[in-house]
Amino acid sequence: MNGSGRRLAVVGNGMVSVSLLERLAALETDWRVTVLGDEPHPAYDRIGLSQVLAGERAAGDLPLRDRAWYASNGFELRTGCRVLALDPERRRLHLEGCPVEFDACVLATGSLPFVPPIPGADLDGVLGFRTVEDVDAMLARARPGGQAVVIGGGLLGLEAARGLLAQGMEVTVVHLVDRLMERQLDHGAAGVLRDELERMGLRVLLSASTRAIEGCGRVERVALAGGDVLPAELVVVCVGVKPNVALAAAAGLDVGRGIRVDDGLATSAPGIYAVGECSEHDGMVYGLVAPLYRQAAVLAERLAGDRTAAFRPLVTATRLKVAGVDLFAGGRTVPEAGDREVLLRDDGGGVYKKLVLRDDSLVGVALVGDLGPMAALADALARGERVRDRMALLGVGAETAPPAGADLPDHATVCGCNGVTKATILDAIRAEGGGATRQCVARRTRASSSCGSCAPVVEGLLRIAGAGRPAAPAGAPDVCACVPLPRAALRLRVLELGLRTVGEVLEQLGDGVGCHRCRPALSYYLDAWWCGEHREEPASRHVNDRVHANIQRDGTFSVVPRIRGGMTSPAELRRIADVAERFGVGAVKITGGQRIDLLGVRKEDLPAVWAALGMPSGHAYTKAVRTVKSCVGTEWCRFGVGDSTDLAVRLESLLEGLYTPHKLKLGVTGCPRNCAEVTVKDLGIVAVVGGWELYVAGAAGMTVRKADLLCTVETAERALEESAIAVQFYREEAEYLERMYHFVPRVGIEAFRSATVDAGVEARAGLLERFRRSRANARDPWQAVPAGDPARFEPALAVAR
Amino acid sequence: MTLAVPLAGLRPNEGRLLVAGGREIALFLTAAGPRAIDARCPHAGGPLADGIVSGTRVICPLHLRGVNLDTGEVDDCAERVRCYPARIAGDAVVLAL
């Protein structure tokens, strides 16, 4: 961000380079970054080139970031700048002009098209398909009715073929192997793809080797090894790419097929890293964008000082749209000995679905035409879960036979091990929303979590309730028009892709921009889903969350320090009084939650006010754990039956700092007289003889609602544990801005109870573990922030010019 | 009057208040470039520099009215806020008042 830090040189300005820069910007590191790109323009969306060729998108839409973005983030961008040599010892890059010195260097040099040694490959009219210039050249030569040959039937070659077809050309694809896209697809899927492409008018020649490209000065025909000759006025060569390792190899770095890197993307030379298509990790060179973006994320975290960030390849499946045909493939699609195949094939319908299983776990998948079960398959593949109902996973059986369980009465017991009825399961599915899966049902009800024999019935009930297809849910609303996925499906994608900032979520799963509704919502979800191990993006937060105070109608702020359980001391009160006088606050008010509110503080005074108070934030400005209101209890009250102040202080200490879907107000009262009014709190605890009663979902605001009794426990420790589990469940399952008193009636108190108090040992342990992790990652913003970005609190400075 | 505001103190999509020449100006670094408008929402005087910026719109933090940073138009409001030309030059945003 500023000019004082260490120097980082990034060689290469492609998609992965930009991804790295975006993440560095989000992490607000102090690196002084220079980006050297050899193309004459800033990085663009290379994947979008095929759309430009097909006339679906303008070339002007391709740039990923404009020059102003680089400048505003303090990145120096040099385009049209070729790096001639890398000197790892002296940490220097040689260019045509002055050398660039660095403390660390990232090689993001990408890959180069592989040009096979075919005679005539240098003729005019023989092109690659890699850059904007290649596409411009193709468009300049393409003409309706003209004949084109694409050499190479991989992803890129087929995209080029589709584009030229859209330009009205007659296109033949010549492919050396006996099936298209052999790296991703098995014979069956490739066959269906070929049929679909031929139906569109593409001609496909397999097992065909090019002997020569011929012509006089410019290309006229392609001669095949078998003797056939294809007339051609345009030839596009897409037989693959090779990692661009020249710079690294000349500098003596360890280079295999790519530049060899470790889990932290470090090369064999100290201070030099490599990411993207030029790198080789654990023997693998990656070409698809998802794993490469993960590399960029890991490297950014490393550069920001996180030594634990590590790139670990996941078995992920990728959705590809090849020449207009939907494909979804991942893992190994060609079975090895001992694997089992499950296959559905509809030749006339252009549909092909194949699963490859090893010991009942999914290890490979290929779908063509109908990607219906895609989300569930991606999930099963990434987790390597055991697959019980293979047909359901293929999306088969839904229309042909009534789903299992359809004929059962509501009171019938479905899961004998845990005594769960059909009605309870249907309630749980409804509570979960459209993203419900069998695992969700198991978590909520324990059904199917023991012997598993009822799993097919649970799957059937999921289908009856219209759930079980996270990609296309019935009923669950999308998070926002800007991020068109329901919350449950979005959570899955966010965790799978490792997205830790709002910007990344919008970039990869949304419209890239977002709005003032979804960006705060996403900010909350990321915090909750990653248990605080996300990256805050202040620009996506309401001003209250940026400056950790509550904006008032006149633009000043209110400050409410945390006073746990409402228990304070003369010294603390004196300090508060001193602060109020010193900073001339407009008003001092005791709040309804038994706290002290200092109103009318100027934004630029906030850091000084916090420092003078020396108290933690009360979070009164945000959707978070607010206050635990208390009465004095047995310590002083002649009626008290429990030590309510002590429990209130412990409860507030346990929960403070946690963000919640909406504000969370709590109370602990020492006897059923209920002086702390806990039966109208989001979570309230009442001391009774022999223990404590826990209530949830009370309200005394826009609506008034008496809380529901959740459970009765014997000890204060149990009361704390049940509170933590209930709060964590609410944090994970409620929509953003859904108060506890809306959430609990929506899911039903019985379902809430069976997912918390009565949940299985594992489910409870999971909730507690995520709760503790979130709590451990919670920082008091009044201590953390002023040092972070003081500029946020001050008006901008300007000088006249 | 021409003013230069160092980029170092600005953050993408986070507004800053600028007080200059007796005026209060809200300055933004959007993905489309820098934008500068009068700092007060005409509806109830809300501090626009504190709003959430998406694309080239800012949402007033007090009552959530949207303001178009290119035209100065305000949702549900006949009045516009004034826009000032702003551009990046070197390591600063240059404003013409």
What's the rounded Cα separation, in Å, for the pair A80 and A170? 36
Contact between chains at A800 and B3 (C-beta distance less than 8 A): yes
Which stretch of A315-319, A330-334, A651-655 has the lowest confidence by average pLDDT? A315-319
Beta bridge partner(s), residue A147? A170
Tokens 């209920």 identify what position? Answer: A674
In terms of CATH architecture, what is A625-777? 2-Layer Sandwich (3.30)
Nearest residue on chain A to B13, alpha-carbon basis: A539
**Is the pLDDT at A432 greater than 90, yes or no?**
no
> Do residues A410 and A424 touch, judged by C-beta distance below 8 A?
no
Q: Where are the domains of chain A?
A: 7-112+243-303, 126-239, 478-541, 545-617, 625-777
Which residue in A553, A791, A801 is closest to B94 by CB distance? A801
Tokens 């009605």 identify what position? Answer: A423
pLDDT averaged over chain A?
Answer: 88
Q: How confident is the model at residue A793 (pLDDT cuts 50, 70, 90)?
A: confident
What's the rounded Cα separation, in Å, for the pair A699 and A434? 28
Give the distance from CA A455 to its chain's centroid.
29
Contact between chains at A553 and B44 (C-beta distance less than 8 A): yes
What's the rounded Cα separation, in Å, for the pair A70 and A77? 7
- CB of A513 within 8 Å of any CB in chain B? yes
Nearest residue on chain B to A75, alpha-carbon basis: B91
- Intervals of chain B under pLDDT 50: none
Instruction: For residues A311-324, give the mean pLDDT.
Output: 73
* Length of chain A in terms of residues written: 801
Closest CA to A395 of A346, A450, A347: A346
Q: Which residues of B touch A65 (CB under 8 A)?
A: 31
Give me the percent of chain A exceeding a pLDDT of 90.
56
Residue-level pLDDT at A396 = 59
Residue-level pLDDT at A4 = 60
Instruction: For residues A168-174, give the mean pLDDT.
Output: 95
Q: Which domains does chain B have, with CATH numbers?
A: 2-96 (2.102.10.10)
- CB of A446 within 8 Å of any CB in chain B? no
Residue-level pLDDT at A458 = 84
Interface test with A, best of B1, B10, B13 (most A CBs within 10 A): B13
Nearest residue on chain A to B9, alpha-carbon basis: A791
What's the rounded Cα separation, in Å, for the pair A313 and A316? 8
Which stretch of A54-68, A218-232, A750-764, B29-43 has the lowest confidence by average pLDDT? A54-68
Tokens 């992965």 identify what position? Answer: A16
Indicate the DSSP class of residue A476. Answer: P
Contact between chains at A68 and B33 (C-beta distance less than 8 A): yes
Number of Cβ within a 10 Å radius of residue A540: 27
Contact between chains at A796 and B7 (C-beta distance less than 8 A): no
**Is the pLDDT at A70 greater than 70, yes or no?**
yes
Instruction: Determine which helix (DSSP H) or strand (DSSP E) holds A799, and give its type and residue range.
Output: strand A799-800
CA A680 to each of CA A422, A661, A666, B36, B71: distance values in angstroms, whole numbers, following the listed order = 33, 18, 9, 46, 47
- Å from B80 to nearest chain A CA? 20
Contact between chains at B52 and A551 (C-beta distance less than 8 A): no
What's the rounded Cα separation, in Å, for the pair A462 and A439? 11
What's the fold here for domain A7-112+243-303? FAD/NAD(P)-binding domain (3.50.50)
**In this structure, what token pair is assigned to residue B73?**
């138009």
CA A588 to each of CA A495, A547, A558, A597: distance values in angstroms, whole numbers, following the listed order = 44, 20, 10, 6
Q: Which residues of B touch A27 (CB under 8 A)?
A: none
- CB of A789 within 8 Å of any CB in chain B? yes
Q: Round to the nearest angstrom and report the end-to-end CA distance of chain B.
A: 5
Residue-level pLDDT at A471 = 35
Residue-level pLDDT at A2 = 45
Which stretch of A145-159, A275-289, A406-420 has the lowest confidence by average pLDDT? A406-420
CA A169 to each of CA A138, A323, A676, B86: distance values in angstroms, whole numbers, following the listed order = 11, 14, 79, 47
**Is the pLDDT at A473 greater than 70, yes or no?**
no
Residue-level pLDDT at A564 = 97
Number of Cβ within a 10 Å radius of residue A40: 10
Q: Which residues of B touch A3 (CB under 8 A)?
A: 8
pLDDT tens digits for range A174-192: 999 999 998 888 888 898 8
Residue-level pLDDT at A375 = 64
- CB of B52 within 8 Å of any CB in chain A? yes
Contact between chains at B52 and A789 (C-beta distance less than 8 A): no
What type of residue is A477? P
Contact between chains at A789 and B11 (C-beta distance less than 8 A): yes
What's the rounded Cα separation, in Å, for the pair A317 and A333? 11
- CB of A568 within 8 Å of any CB in chain B? no
- Å from A551 to nearest chain B CA? 8
**Phi-psi region at A338: left, alpha or beta (left = phi > 0; alpha = psi -120 to 50):** left
What's the rounded Cα separation, in Å, for the pair A617 and A558? 12
Residue-level pLDDT at A533 = 93
**Is the pLDDT at A451 greater than 70, yes or no?**
no
Residue-level pLDDT at A315 = 66
Residue that wins the pLDDT comparison between A221 and A476: A221
**Is the pLDDT at A768 greater than 60, yes or no?**
yes
Which residue in B9, B45, B47 is closest to A797 by CB distance? B9
What's the rounded Cα separation, in Å, for the pair A456 and A479? 30
Contact between chains at A796 and B9 (C-beta distance less than 8 A): yes
Residue-level pLDDT at A28 = 82
- CB of B33 within 8 Å of any CB in chain A? yes
Which residue in A73, A796, A800 is closest to B16 by CB distance? A796
> Do residues A30 and A6 touch, judged by C-beta distance below 8 A?
yes
Q: Tell me if domain A126-239 and domain A545-617 are identical in fold.
A: no
Contact between chains at B29 and A72 (C-beta distance less than 8 A): yes
Q: Which residues of A touch B19 (CB under 8 A)?
A: 795
ipTM over 0.95: no
> Do residues A635 and A566 touch, judged by C-beta distance below 8 A?
no
- Strands B86-89 vs B52-54: parallel, antiparallel or unpaired: unpaired
Q: Which residues of B touch A542 (CB under 8 A)?
A: 52, 61
- CB of B5 within 8 Å of any CB in chain A? yes
- CB of A46 within 8 Å of any CB in chain B? no
Residue-level pLDDT at A398 = 42
Residues 6+ apart with CB under 8 A from A401: none
Give the sheet arrangement for strand A126-127, strand by strand: A126-127, A234-237, A147-151, A170-174, A203-205
> Do residues A29 and A1 touch, judged by C-beta distance below 8 A?
yes
Contact between chains at B12 and A543 (C-beta distance less than 8 A): no
pLDDT tens digits for range A579-630: 999 999 999 999 999 999 999 999 999 999 999 999 999 999 999 999 999 9
- CB of A798 within 8 Å of any CB in chain B? yes
Beta bridge partner(s), residue A597? A589
Give the distance from CA A490 to its chain's centroid.
8
**Is the pLDDT at A503 greater than 50, yes or no?**
yes
Nearest residue on chain B to A68, alpha-carbon basis: B33
Residue-level pLDDT at A146 = 93
pLDDT tens digits for range A368-402: 887 766 666 776 777 666 776 666 667 654 444 45
Instruction: For residues A501-520, give the mean pLDDT.
Output: 93
CB contact burial A552-566 (16+ within 10 A = b; e otherwise): eeebbbbbbbbbbbb
Closest CA to A670 of A646, A701, A654, A652: A646
CATH superfamily, with its number, for domain A126-239: FAD/NAD(P)-binding domain (3.50.50.60)
Residue that wins the pLDDT comparison between A51 and A541: A541
Give the distance from CA A182 to its chain's centroid.
29
CB contact burial A403-439 (16+ within 10 A = b; e otherwise): bbbeebeeeeebbeebebbbebbbbbbbbbbbbbbbe
Nearest residue on chain B to A518, alpha-carbon basis: B54
Residue-level pLDDT at A418 = 66
- CB of B6 within 8 Å of any CB in chain A? yes
Q: How confident is the model at residue A502 (pLDDT cuts 50, 70, 90)?
A: very high
Q: What is the DSSP string of A288-351?
A: SHHHHHHHHHHHHHHHTT-TT--------EEEEEETTEEEEEEE-SSPPTT-EEEEEEETTTTE
Q: How confident is the model at residue A794 (pLDDT cuts 50, 70, 90)?
A: confident
Residue-level pLDDT at A461 = 84
Look at the pTM and tell me if it is higher than 0.80: no
What's the rounded Cα separation, in Å, for the pair A800 and B21? 10
* Length of chain B in terms of residues written: 97
Instruction: For residues A318-323, give the mean pLDDT.
Output: 72
- CB of A555 within 8 Å of any CB in chain B? yes
Q: Which residues of B touch A553 (CB under 8 A)?
A: 44, 62
Q: What is the DSSP string of A538-590?
A: GGGS-HHHHHTSEE-TTS-EEE-B--GGG---HHHHHHHHHHHHHTT-SEEEE
Instruction: For residues A306-320, give the mean pLDDT.
Output: 78
What's the fold here for domain A545-617? Sulfite Reductase Hemoprotein; domain 2 (3.90.480)
Burial label, A190 (beta-carbon count in 10 A; 0-12, 13-18, 19+): buried
Interface test with B, best of A2, A24, A72 (most B CBs within 10 A): A72
Residue-level pLDDT at A407 = 66
The CA-based angle A54-A59-A60, given to 5 degrees, is: 150
**Is the pLDDT at A645 greater than 80, yes or no?**
yes
What's the rounded Cα separation, in Å, for the pair A764 and A776? 18
What's the rounded Cα separation, in Å, for the pair A467 and A3? 53
Residue numbers of A between 48 and 107 with CB closer than 8 Å to B: 65-66, 68-69, 71-74
- CB of B1 within 8 Å of any CB in chain A? yes
